[in-house]
Amino acid sequence: MPQQTHILNFGPFQVPVTTARNGDSPLVLVLPAMGVPANRYRLLLEELQKLGYSTAISELPGTGESLPRPHRKADYGYNDLVFSFIPQLIELLEQQFPQGPALILGHSIGGQTSTLAARAGLTGNAKVVSIAAGHVDHRSWRGLHKCAILVFASIASITSSLLGYFPGARMGFGWHEARRLMKDWARSIFSGRFAPEDRFGQMEKTNQPTLHIALDGDPFAPIQAARRLAAIVGGETREMQPTYPKGNPHLSWIKNPTPVIEAVQQWLNNKEPTPS
């Protein structure tokens, strides 16, 4: 299917956004996980296109083909992604697809930020599905896992402050990540609130349909974390078995995305209005 690449200018970052038009079919926007380049979602996009959807996928700023890499003067945080990046991305897509995205599929941080944007009323008419995404409130974990994430959050925050970015590839979490993003992430673990949640008290709650899929055995987004994320928007949660026999389910599901897409399709079909 013919593809087009558009460039979204987001602060100092040039962010490629790749679209594939499938006639006048509904558009699905895919938002990647932290440190995962857009080209890793090829199978997911192909499966969606086979089902008749048009597709769009954006790099996260500073990841994959997006330049520059984050540093002290090229930086962003959760508020920037939720209140600026996602609205700008949707506005860019509406230039090519006037109805905008009908569905947003967010993986990990893509699911967190799209859920938060939905709560703020910034995702248009799109239904939102988060996959392997959860609230990073430390209470989502128990025992040694809880201790480990609290320790790692402290290390990530200190390292990001010292270097001006987070060397995720060397730390085994993410890739080359923005300083404020990681400091926001770490603060959320301790406080139990994402930075954008501080603004929600002034906003009317939306009734946008959302689904939050957790994968059994995912150490980064267990079902408890998915439920806490869903609670922000009053969304539904569903736990699934891993879709790929090897690796961490948090990432390996994209090697076999079909079961996840089937679950999303089932949910979408239940959301369609019944003819009168």
Burial 20-39 (b: 16+ CB within 10 A, else e): bbbeebbbbbbbbbbbbebe
In the chain, what are the domain boundaries?
3-138+194-271
| Residue 276: per-residue pLDDT | 34
- Residue 11 CA, distance from chain mean position: 20
Please provide the average confidence, as pLDDT, over all residues in the chain. Answer: 94
Q: Does pLDDT of 259 surpass 70? A: yes
Tens-digit pLDDT profile for residues 161-205? 999 999 988 888 889 999 999 999 999 999 999 999 998 876 767
- CA 212/CA 49 separation, integer angstroms: 22
| CATH class (in words) of the domain with range 3-138+194-271 | alpha beta
For the beta sheet containing 27-31, the strands, ordered from the edge strand earlier in sequence to the opposite edge, are: 3-10, 13-20, 54-58, 27-31, 103-107, 127-131, 210-215, 236-240
| Residue 171: per-residue pLDDT | 85
Q: Does pLDDT of 160 surpass 90? A: yes
User: Residue for token digits 């987001």?
Assistant: 10
Question: What is this structure's pTM?
Answer: 0.94
Tens-digit pLDDT profile for residues 56-93? 999 999 999 999 999 999 999 999 999 999 999 999 99
User: With left for phi above 0 and alpha for psi between -120 and 50, is residue 116 left, alpha or beta?
Assistant: alpha
Q: Does pLDDT of 275 surpass 70? A: no
| Residue 272: per-residue pLDDT | 63
Angle at 52 between CA 29 and CA 91, to 5 degrees: 30
